[in-house]
Homo-oligomer: A and B are copies of this chain.
Amino acid sequence: MTRPYNFSAGPAAMPAEVLQQAAAEMLDWQGSGMSVMEMSHRGKEFKSIIEAAESDLRELLAVPAHFRILFMQGGGLAENAIVPLNLSRGGAVDFVVTGSWSQKSFKEAGKYCETRLAASNAAQAHTELPDPASWRLSRDAQYVHLCSNETINGIEVHHLPDLKALGSDAPLVIDFSSHVASRPVDWSRVSLAFGGAQKNLGPAGLTLVVVREDLLGHALPICPSAFDYKTVADNGSMYNTPPTYAIYMAGLTFQWLKRQTEGELCGVAAMEQRNLAKAALLYDFIDQSQLYVNKVAGNCRSRMNVPFFLRDESRNEAFLAGAKAAGLLQLKGHKSVGGMRASIYNALPLAGVQALVTYMRDFEKTRA
A130 at the interface (CB under 8 A from B): no
Chain B positions within 8 Å of A24 at CB level: 23
The size class of the interface chain A forms with chain B is 35 or more
Per-position 1/0 for A1-35, Cβ under 8 A of B: 10110101111111010011011101110000111
Partner of A205, one of B1, B23, B239, B243: B243
Inter-chain CA distance A23–B245, complex, in Å, is: 13
Instruction: Assess whether B204 is in contact with A244, with CB atoms less than 8 Å apart.
Output: yes
A196 at the interface (CB under 8 A from B): yes
A192 at the interface (CB under 8 A from B): no
Which chain B residue has the least Cβ–Cβ distance from A248?
B203
Instruction: Assess whether A3 is in contact with B224, with CB atoms less than 8 Å apart.
Output: no
Instruction: Assess whether A244 is in contact with B40, with CB atoms less than 8 Å apart.
Output: no
Instruction: Assess whether B73 is in contact with A227, with CB atoms less than 8 Å apart.
Output: no
A216 at the interface (CB under 8 A from B): no
With contact pairs A8-B39, A19-B26 given, residues A78 and B240 touching in the complex (Cβ less than 8 Å):
yes
Instruction: Assess whether A11 is in contact with B241, with CB atoms less than 8 Å apart.
Output: yes
A37 at the interface (CB under 8 A from B): yes
A114 at the interface (CB under 8 A from B): no
A111 at the interface (CB under 8 A from B): yes
The SS class assigned to the A binding surface is loop
Instruction: Assess whether A204 is in contact with B243, with CB atoms less than 8 Å apart.
Output: yes
Chain B positions within 8 Å of A111 at CB level: 221-222, 224
Instruction: Assess whether A226 is in contact with B35, with CB atoms less than 8 Å apart.
Output: no
Inter-chain CA distance A13–B28, complex, in Å, is: 12
Instruction: Assess whether B243 is in contact with A243, with CB atoms less than 8 Å apart.
Output: yes
Partner of A204, one of B203, B241, B329: B241
A280 at the interface (CB under 8 A from B): no
Instruction: Assess whether B244 is in contact with A37, with CB atoms less than 8 Å apart.
Output: no
Which chain B residue has the least Cβ–Cβ distance from A78?
B226
A263 at the interface (CB under 8 A from B): no
Provide a sorted-by-A list of 6 A–B residue pairs whose CB atoms are within 8 angstroms: A10-B241, A23-B27, A73-B75, A80-B225, A204-B245, A205-B246
Besides A74-B240, A80-B226, A203-B245, 18 new A-B residue pairs in contact (Cβ under 8 A), listed by A number = A1-B27, A6-B34, A8-B34, A8-B39, A11-B40, A13-B38, A23-B23, A34-B329, A73-B74, A74-B227, A77-B241, A78-B224, A108-B224, A108-B225, A111-B222, A204-B241, A204-B243, A205-B243
Which A residues lie at the B interface, using CB under 8 A? 1, 3-4, 6, 8-14, 16, 19-20, 22-24, 26-28, 33-35, 37-43, 73-78, 80-82, 85, 108, 111-112, 196, 198, 202-206, 221-222, 224-227, 239-246, 249, 327, 329-330, 335
